[in-house]
Amino acid sequence: MNCMLLHKDGLIELNYDVATDILTAKWPDMMNFTTAEIRFAF
> Is the sign of the CA dihedral 33, 34, 35, 36 positive or negative?
negative
1-42 pLDDT, tens digit per residue, is: 689 999 998 788 999 999 999 999 998 777 888 888 878 877
pLDDT at 1: 61
**From the centroid of its chain, how far is CA 34?**
17
- Going by the DSSP 8-state scheme, the letter that residue 21 receives in this structure is T
